[in-house]
Amino acid sequence: MTPPRRAEVSTSRVLPDEMAEEFWPTYLAAFEPLATRAAARHVLTREEFDEEMRDERILKLLARNHEGHAVGLTTLATDLAAVPWISRDFHVRRYPEHAARGAIYYVGFTLAHPGQRRSLVFVDMLDSLIEILATDRVVCAYDVSRYNDETLRFAEHLFARARRTCDLDVDRVDVQTYYAATFHGTRTGT
């Protein structure tokens, strides 16, 4: 039996356009299925993706296989202002000591190419991410769709992996539920 393959994970603040081009297909392969599985829009447009790859406030963890091909990507905003859909005020009020030292980070996304499911790409990226979070002693915020939380169990995997080497507390700080009401017309006789 062949042992699982490992990925080499590096970090970068700004990706040159040719590297963004290289990681775009990996991003799409992993995230396009969420277009029909999550109520909120999770799939970035190409322009949004390129903008994130150029934003120096967002650290990128880049995973490559043994052949040097792009196989995984994680984004970590080290400045909450880089994440327009979250409330900076909420996090600052909840974690004032961390906010005072700029130690509230936000995971935008983390992914491994679906073709790498039998490898350790995701584990290697989580280990690299956890090392950064523990070294910087941060509050790490993120959101997870119900599909990813229940089916892929992302949060569970992250916590279990982190607890192997780190002392941490985990809190569910908010939940947003999406509803849909189907109207079939008016009732007769009212």
Task: Render each residue's pLDDT in the chain as its tens digit; 190 residues.
Answer: 655 668 999 999 999 999 999 999 999 999 898 888 877 788 999 999 999 999 999 999 999 999 999 999 999 999 999 999 899 999 999 999 999 999 999 999 988 898 887 678 988 999 999 999 999 999 999 888 777 777 767 777 778 888 999 998 888 888 777 788 888 888 887 6
**What is the per-residue pLDDT for 3?**
59
The whole-angstrom separation of Cα 68 and Cα 18 is 14
In a domain, 171, yes or no: no
Q: What is the DSSP string of 116-177?
A: GTTSSHHHHHHHHHHHHHHHHT-EEEE---HHIIIII-HHHHHHHHHHTT------------
In a domain, 102, yes or no: yes
Q: How many domains does the chain have?
A: 1
User: Own/partner pairs for 83-92, CB < 8 Å, 24+ apart?
Assistant: 83/108, 86/141, 86/143, 90/173, 90/174, 91/139, 91/141
pTM attached to this predicted model? 0.87
**What is the per-residue pLDDT for 2?**
58
Q: Which residue range forms the structural domain that includes residue 37? A: 8-163
Identity (one letter) of the amino acid at 48?
E
In a domain, 101, yes or no: yes
In a domain, 16, yes or no: yes
In a domain, 188, yes or no: no
In a domain, 179, yes or no: no
The whole-angstrom separation of Cα 113 and Cα 33 is 12
CATH number for the domain including 151? 3.40.630.30
